[in-house]
């Protein structure tokens, strides 16, 4: 069964058709699809973060690709059809989608399908000298997925405009004789961003009045200001929420509008209470009187599908069940052998017990080490299930033979 194509991927296919029409081509090849993918790879998107992390330049690749095919002078059909190689690219993208257990066929799957030499050898020959190597990009993707699925400092994920907003918040902090950036300072910094000003104006909030009311909420925190930016607990929680808002919308980098979303009134989750406490100062009340938070969220955009997942990021029930039953069987055999070892001569009995205890010790140490140190939930669950399966099987045999 073929996976469903995401809206972003459909938009890329439509854009590829338009690119083919612009060059008077009769069919849509993987080259047209790849050009459309490059256009969609904005800096704050998952694909854009991957390309940026690999040190590649989309504009350079686009120029080389466009130079590799010529524009025809003859007219084309209004909707050029996909070539067999483009259909093959979609098949490879669907296979990649199933392999990564992604809910939808996303642009990242089309991206790697187009780079497959079995799809379009000429495209690979054009891009490889520029550093667009599929194996290297796959490795970069695993690094990116590791950053996404593990705790990451939000300050390392800011867009250029978000960095400017943080700098403005720092200036506001110094101007109010504070030593740490609070949510009020974050809001003042955001109010210097054109996109945030536009969003708040559209929902009927007056920027100048909001600045006055925000400054009135600031109290000196008796902290010494330093060159290194320091944030209070409420601001740290807001940045964490901003990261979650960005990733929920399929974007890797945090933009100013994501920080604005984080400052809107919302229920405090249990993990936030455990991490930051339940009594944090908040400036959400400043927005309640002037802005409909739901309308503002709709303007910024609804939650999108999650970022493409690392196959090791999810716990697989199948993996847990197989690991448990396999090790339980081994545990039953070991337990039965242990209880029947009394029929052996003393030397073999000691050897059998030592072997079984060594197996149990190695499994226990390995399970504990993986569960504590590994950042892959699937690996943790497999080792944990294997450990408890072995213990359960051996205990079951001991109980049965003891009766």
pLDDT of residue 312: 43
Nearest Cα residue to 43 out of 33, 57, 29: 57
CATH code of residue 65: 1.10.1780.10
Answer yes or no: is 309 within a domain.
no
Residue 212 lies in a domain: yes
- The C-alpha angle with vertex 271 and arms to 187 and 49, in degrees rounded to 5, equals 60
145, 11: one domain: yes
- What pTM value is reported for the model? 0.55
217 and 133 inside one domain: no
Q: Is residue 380 part of a domain?
A: yes
The secondary element (H helix, E strand) that includes residue 247 is: helix 233-248
Residue 305 lies in a domain: no
| R_g (Cα) of the chain, nearest Å | 28
Domain tally for the chain? 3
**Residue 166 confidence (pLDDT):** 93
End position of a domain, from candidates 149, 178, 195: 149
The three-class DSSP label of residue 364 is helix
Shared domain check, 145 and 160: no
Among 271, 300, 329, the domain-final residue is: 300
Verify that 354 and 288 share a domain, yes or no.
Answer: no
| 107 and 42 inside one domain | yes
State whether 344 and 240 are in the same domain.
Answer: no
* Nearest of 38, 37, 50, 237 to residue 147 by alpha carbon: 50
Residue found by looking up tokens 């799809």 in the block: 119
Containing structural domain, residue 160: 154-300
- Residue 226: burial class (beta carbons within 10 Å; 0-12, 13-18, 19+): exposed
Q: Report if residue 1 sits inside a domain.
A: no
Q: Domain check: are 295 and 158 in the same one?
A: yes
Last residue of a domain, one of 84, 114, 149: 149
Query: Nearest Cα to 83, choosing from 63, 97, 69, 104?
Result: 69
pLDDT of the chain, 403 residues: tens digit per residue = 678 888 889 999 999 999 998 888 889 999 999 999 999 888 767 788 888 888 888 889 988 888 877 655 555 566 788 999 999 999 999 999 888 888 889 899 999 999 998 888 888 888 888 889 888 999 988 887 776 666 568 887 888 788 899 999 999 998 888 888 988 899 999 999 998 888 888 888 888 888 888 888 888 777 776 777 888 888 888 888 888 888 777 677 888 989 988 888 766 555 555 555 555 555 655 554 445 677 777 777 665 444 444 444 444 455 556 666 676 666 666 666 666 655 556 666 667 667 766 766 676 666 666 555 555 555 556 666 666 666 666 666 666 655 5
Using DSSP's 3-state secondary structure scheme, residue 379 falls into helix
User: Same domain for 207 and 295?
Assistant: yes
In a domain, 12, yes or no: yes
Distances, alpha carbon 340 to alpha carbons 263, 327, 334, 397, 402, in Å = 66, 20, 10, 10, 11
Residues 231 and 290 in one domain: yes
Q: Give yes or no: residues 77 and 200 share one domain.
A: no
Q: Are 310 and 149 in contact (CB under 8 A)?
A: yes
d(CA 377, CA 388): 16
- Please tell me whether residues 265 and 320 are part of one structural domain: no
What is each CA distance from 11 to 63, 90, 223, 240, in whole angstroms? 22, 14, 51, 31
Q: Is there a domain that residue 326 lies in?
A: yes
Query: Does residue 171 sit within a domain?
Result: yes
Bridge partners of 124, per DSSP, are: none
Let me know whether 54 and 142 are in one domain: yes
């Amino acid at each position: 069964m073929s996976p469903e194509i995401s809206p972003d991927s459909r938009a890329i296919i439509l854009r590829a058709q338009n690119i083919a029409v612009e060059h008077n081509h009769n069919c849509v090849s993987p080259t047209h699809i790849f050009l459309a993918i490059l256009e969609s790879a904005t800096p704050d998107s998952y694909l854009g973060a991957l390309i940026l992390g690999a040190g590649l330049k989309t504009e350079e690749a686009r120029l080389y690709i466009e130079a590799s095919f010529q524009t025809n002078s003859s007219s084309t059909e209004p909707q050029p059809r996909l070539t067999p190689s483009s259909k093959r690219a979609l098949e490879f993208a669907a296979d990649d989608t199933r392999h990564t257990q992604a809910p939808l066929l996303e642009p990242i799957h089309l991206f790697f399908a187009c780079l497959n030499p079995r799809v379009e050898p000429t495209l690979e020959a054009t891009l490889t000298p520029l550093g667009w190597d599929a194996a290297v990009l796959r490795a970069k993707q695993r690094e990116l997925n590791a950053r996404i699925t593990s705790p990451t400092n939000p300050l390392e994920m800011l867009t250029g405009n978000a960095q400017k907003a943080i700098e403005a918040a720092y200036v506001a902090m110094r101007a109010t004789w504070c030593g740490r950036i609070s949510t009020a300072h974050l809001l003042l910094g955001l109010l210097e961003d054109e996109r945030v000003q536009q969003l708040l104006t559209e929902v009927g909030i007056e920027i100048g009045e909001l600045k006055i009311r925000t400054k009135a909420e600031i109290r000196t925190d008796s902290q010494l200001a330093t060159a290194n930016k320091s944030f209070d607990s409420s601001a740290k929680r807001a940045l964490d929420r901003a990261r979650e808002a960005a990733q929920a919308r399929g974007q890797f980098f945090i933009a100013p509008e994501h920080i604005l979303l984080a400052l809107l009134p919302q229920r405090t989750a249990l993990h936030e209470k455990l991490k930051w406490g339940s009594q944090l100062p908040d400036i959400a009340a400043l927005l309640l009187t002037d802005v409909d938070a739901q309308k503002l969220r709709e303007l910024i955009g609804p939650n999108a599908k999650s970022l493409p997942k690392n196959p090791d990021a999810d716990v697989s029930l199948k993996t847990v069940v197989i690991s448990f039953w396999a090790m339980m069987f081994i545990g039953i055999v070991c337990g039965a052998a242990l209880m029947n070892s009394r029929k052996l001569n003393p030397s073999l009995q000691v050897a059998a017990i030592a072997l079984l205890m060594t197996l149990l010790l190695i499994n226990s140490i390995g399970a504990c080490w993986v569960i504590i140190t590994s950042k892959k939930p699937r690996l943790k669950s497999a080792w944990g299930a294997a450990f408890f399966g072995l213990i359960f099987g051996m205990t079951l045999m001991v109980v049965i033979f003891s009766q």
